[in-house]
Amino acid sequence: MSVTRITWDAGGEATLGEVDDLHVTVRASPRAYPPGATASGTLYTDPALPFAMKIAGSKREPDGFVVRGRLVNATVAVRAAFAASATKPA
């Protein structure tokens, strides 16, 4: 499976990790977000789709931050693109 790229509206790129319905994990993010914040960005699929997620937490790892959250106001197209582009949790 190829890595799906994300860009944050606040700047920086990351990769999509696991997706479990509305719950999303983003890896190698250049920045952390505080719990409760809303982060918006673009998921680069065909076509590219804007999204927003409510942050549950961020954790520093050697290659950047792992950001966990829940998609908010996600359309059917956004939910389907996330589901098709990510790995399922173990």
Q: What is the three-class DSSP state of 39? A: strand
d(CA 51, CA 38): 10
d(CA 90, CA 73): 26
Give me the domain span that covers residue 77: 5-85
Written as tens digits, the pLDDT of the chain (90 aa) is 468 999 999 999 999 999 998 999 999 999 999 999 999 999 999 899 999 999 999 999 999 999 999 999 999 999 999 999 876 555
pLDDT of residue 1: 47
Q: What is the total count of domains within the chain?
A: 1
Contacts of 67 (CB under 8 A, 6+ apart): 14, 25, 26, 29, 32, 33, 39, 55, 57, 58
